[in-house]
Amino acid sequence: MTALIATIDAFNRVMGRLVAWCALAMLLFQAAAVVLRYVFSYGLIAFQEAVVYCHAALFLLGAAYILQLNDHIRVDVIYDRLGMRARRLIDVIALALFVLPVAAVIAWTGFPYVLRAWASLEGARQPGGLPAVFLLKSCILVFAVSLALQGLAILLRVVAGAPLESWHQPARRIRLPGRPDRR
């Protein structure tokens, strides 16, 4: 079981670190598109679509890594104030009732959508666009599978009784300007 968890973690870590480069690519494509349009009066649809592709890849392919790092947004008020047993219970419930079922629904409903895109090798609707819409849509399935696997890895750790500190980072506190820190 620990080998499975380590493999899932390693896969999502590599994927997350690779896809982080999409942020730089997105910036470069956007900057190039702006310079081409406003300096040279020349627009490239492919560059504009590349920004969208990079943005989608950044979020879809990096989501499992963010879950692994516990850098996702938590909407709870009391989690940090609870003991370890209560945190484990909340994590098990959240993973089992929300993360895994939502990932399964996304995979289930996304599969025919992606299959149709691959069957026709769907490309851009606009002339000059990127001819790889089918690849972009494939990110939906990779998102669902990688998120489900990472949720499963975390769930297995929690149920096996691994110390929460070994995988659970405390939530980062954000200090708002002009407001005192309430610790």
Q: Average pLDDT for residues 39-59, to the nearest whole number?
A: 93
- The percentage of the chain sitting over the pLDDT mark of 70, rounded to a whole number, equals 87
Note the residue count of the chain. Answer: 183
- 182 in a domain, yes or no? no
The answer to whether residue 148 scores a pLDDT higher than 90 is yes
- 67 in a domain, yes or no? yes
pLDDT for position 166: 58
Tokens of 42: 């020349």
* CB neighbours of residue 14 within 10 Å: 11
Q: Tens of pLDDT along 85-135?
A: 888 888 899 999 999 999 999 999 999 999 999 999 998 888 888 999 999
The answer to whether residue 164 scores a pLDDT higher than 80 is no
* Candidate from 78-82, 109-113, 140-144, 169-173 with smallest mean pLDDT: 169-173
- 153 in a domain, yes or no? yes
pLDDT for position 178: 60
pLDDT for position 27: 96
Task: Identify whether the C-beta of residue 70 lies closer than 8 Å to the C-beta of residue 172.
Answer: no
- 64 in a domain, yes or no? yes
Residue 68's domain comprises 2-166
pLDDT for position 112: 96
- 19 in a domain, yes or no? yes
CA angle 137, 19, 145 (to 5 degrees): 50
112, amino acid identity: P
The answer to whether residue 171 scores a pLDDT higher than 50 is no
**CA–CA gap between residue 176 and residue 181 (Å, rounded):** 8
**Which residue has better confidence, 126 or 34?**
34
pLDDT for position 103: 97
- 32 in a domain, yes or no? yes
Arithmetic mean of pLDDT over the chain:
87
- 109 in a domain, yes or no? yes
Q: Average pLDDT for residues 50-63, to the nearest whole number?
A: 95
- 172 in a domain, yes or no? no
| Number of domains, the chain | 1
Task: Identify whether the C-beta of residue 95 lies closer than 8 Å to the C-beta of residue 72.
Answer: no
